[in-house]
Amino acid sequence: MLDFVLEWATHGLLNASWWQIVVATLVLTHITIASVTIFLHRCQAHRALDLHAIPSHFFRFWLWLTTSTVTKQWVSVHRKHHAKCETAEDPHSPVAHGIKTVLLEGRELYAKEAANAETLKKYGHNTPDDWLERHLYTPRNNWGPITMLLIDLALFGVIGITVWAVQMLWIPVFAAGIVNGLGHFWGYRNFEAPDASTNISPIGLIIGGEELHNNHHTYPTSAKLSVKPFEFDIGWGYIRALELMGLAKVRKIAPKLQLGEIKPQADAKTLEAIVANRYELMAGYASEVRAACRSELERLKSNGQEAAAAKLHAVRKWMARDEAQVPVALRQMVQQARGVSPKLDQLIQMREELRAIWTRTNVSAEQLVQDLQAWCQRAEASGIAALQEFSRKVRAAHA
């Protein structure tokens, strides 16, 4: 008997080698990541897809085992994050709380908001409310990790405690910390979304595709998080596999700007197309503003205007952003930098005028079409090649 106990404690029921234990741990944590991104995030929080009862119940059970997550709480906190993004009410914004706080205390920020009854009432609608949810997953959510610990101990022996610890830390570190923290602090942006969201990596493997956070904040109801040819979203691969098996149905993916013949002038269909694809269009516009900044920096330096060049260089990344997103302390510097270049100033001014076309809600569609036509005419009469080319692109857009 003692020999059996020692053998079990050393190797567990599987008698796995160290590398097999490492692989098993990575597989187990990856299943948890897939459960979060497919079930909690894309299906429950954003309704980007519908799941058959089989994968839906599996994901709920697995998340109960490995995270003790209550679906209604997770969904409520995440929906509030989108509704109040980067304001004082955002549950886990590095803009509001600081990057260090979100990275190191992301789990605590989530738990605090999950305990807010008002948040659950306002944002927790249409989440599971069946017998299992009412009698097991919600009131006894801590039983899941305890059960998982016993399973890990049985399968791997004493080293199963380490396997379990990694499982318990995986979501708080990678989801609550890295996605919610770095995803609003560091990375690249495909779209000029109205927040600071970034894509952490173009290859979405480790966090199931959640690395593509700027794409998600731009099109939150899209079941597919990758949008560029060089981006990979493994979560989307799993969703497509489930769809092929009849276990999922995709409801929506991000729109893609379609260009056709250049119309003599913009019309109602043009307006519809640019409103639907406004973030993609504005990302292209931002590229033109950045190119203008680089040209202006070279001109100022060649003319010996080092002080003006230094001011422009200090705020160059904010020149193509909405004024509300520019830190208050830098807004005057942005205005001063615009003042050194009439071309750059006009590019930014006309960007604001174009953005106003879809942000105004107190005018008719007919008036907006007229405003768009007037904008194109001014752009093409500006003598600025970038504006002229962008106007032609706008007139070629179609829904």
> Which one of 219, 250, 281 terminates a domain?
250
- Is residue 206 in a domain? yes
Whether 294 and 167 share a structural domain: no
Q: What is the pLDDT of residue 130?
A: 96
What is the residue range of 277's domain?
268-398
Higher pLDDT, 322 or 132: 132
Structure confidence at residue 399 as a pLDDT band (50, 70, 90): low
Tell me if 262 is assigned to some domain. Answer: no
Last residue of a domain, one of 220, 250, 280: 250
Q: Does one domain contain both 68 and 217?
A: yes
Same domain for 180 and 89: yes
Give residue 242's Cα distance to chain centre: 23
Is the model's pLDDT at 323 over the cut of 60? yes
Residue 7: which pLDDT band, with cuts at 50, 70 and 90?
Answer: low
Which tokens in the block code for residue 393? 């692109």
C-alpha 26: how far from chain center: 24
Phi-psi region of 157 (alpha: psi -120 to 50; beta: other; left: phi over 0): left
285-318 pLDDT, tens digit each: 888 888 888 988 998 899 888 888 888 888 888 8
276/339 same-domain check: yes
Quick check: 324 pLDDT over 80?
A: no
Domain boundary among 200, 220, 250: 250
pLDDT band at 230 (very low <50, low <70, confident <90, very high): very high
Looking at the structure, tell me whether residues 167 and 22 fall in a common domain.
yes
Q: Give yes or no: residues 73 and 218 share one domain.
A: yes
Q: Are residues 361 and 280 in the same domain?
A: yes
Q: Residue 174's Cα: distance from chain center in Å?
A: 14
Do 130 and 234 reside in the same domain of the chain? yes
What pLDDT score was predicted for residue 359? Answer: 86
119-168 pLDDT, tens digit each: 999 999 999 999 999 999 999 999 999 999 999 999 999 999 999 999 99
pLDDT digit string (tens) for 58-71? 999 999 999 999 99
**pTM across the whole model:** 0.86
Q: How many domains does the chain have?
A: 2
383 and 324 part of one domain: yes
**What is the pLDDT at residue 194?**
81
Asked whether residue 330 is assigned to any structural domain, the reply reads: yes
| 8 and 139 share one domain | yes
Alpha helices (H) along the chain? 2-11, 18-34, 53-66, 71-83, 94-97, 99-114, 117-123, 131-132, 143-156, 160-171, 180-182, 213-218, 234-244, 268-276, 278-302, 306-315, 331-339, 342-359, 365-380, 385-396
Q: Quick one: pLDDT at residue 79?
A: 97
- Whether 96 is in a domain gets the answer yes
